[in-house]
Structure 1
């Protein structure tokens, strides 16, 4: 399926879950790896706030793209953020959703418009 670039320049993105290894197989504990580079993948939870709406999402990033010292609740940046719709059949049931991936998770700032009038 096609990837859709997510515009983040006007969004406030706050860290809600610390980066942790993305598990590929829960039964074996196998860590997910990038199909091209073979690099281990990490999962990070964020709240994405834009135009008065918010969404809690998990974003996959390569291990090398995780910056140390990110504090829960702090603003972060997700360079190269893309959304990819997916669907599958699991235990006979159709499932679907959106997977998010970014090149990195780094310290960010609250956009100027979001802090106006505070």
Structure 2
């Protein structure tokens, strides 16, 4: 399936909803795992603002890639963000996935303290 790289260099990105485990099957409560590494997948809601528009995106990230304190409103960096169009049972959309989501608030507070 086609993955489209997303350029985040000119965007403002902040946490809209803190990380939560991604559920694979809502009926059983089974959690989603990364196919390649076996790591638990997390979903982070982010406010993505660029070019005068803002949108809340649900981004899937492997749990080891979730670093720092990700609280609502904190600025973050998304490493390796890709978009993947999907279609299933007459429904369609775009799934977003990143290698890592990193809090920028911690780096800012550490540099102010120095």
Same fold (TM > 0.5): yes
The aligned counterpart of 1:48 is: 48
Alpha-carbon shift at residue 67 of structure 1 (Å): 1.2
Aligned CA RMSD, in angstroms, stands at: 1.0
The aligned counterpart of 1:67 is: 67
Aligned equivalents of 1:24 and 1:100: distance in 2?
Answer: 16
The aligned counterpart of 1:116 is: none
Aligned equivalents of 1:51 and 1:108: distance in 2?
Answer: 21
SS at match of 1:105: strand
The aligned counterpart of 2:98 is: 102
**Which ranges in structure 2 are unaligned for 5 or more consecutive residues?**
106-114
In terms of fraction of residues, the more helix-rich structure is 2
Deviations 1:70-101 (A, max 9, x none): 22101111100000000000xxxx10000000
Question: Mean alpha-carbon deviation: is it higher for 100-109 or for 32-41?
Answer: 100-109
SS at match of 1:35: coil
**Which ranges in structure 1 are unaligned for 5 or more consecutive residues?**
110-118
- Find runs of 4+ consecutive structure 1 residues off by over 3 angstroms: none
In the superposition, the TM-score normalised over structure 2's length comes to: 0.89
The aligned counterpart of 1:29 is: 29
1:70-81 equivalent positions in 2, closer than 5 A: 70-81=70-81
In the superposition, the TM-score normalised over structure 1's length comes to: 0.86
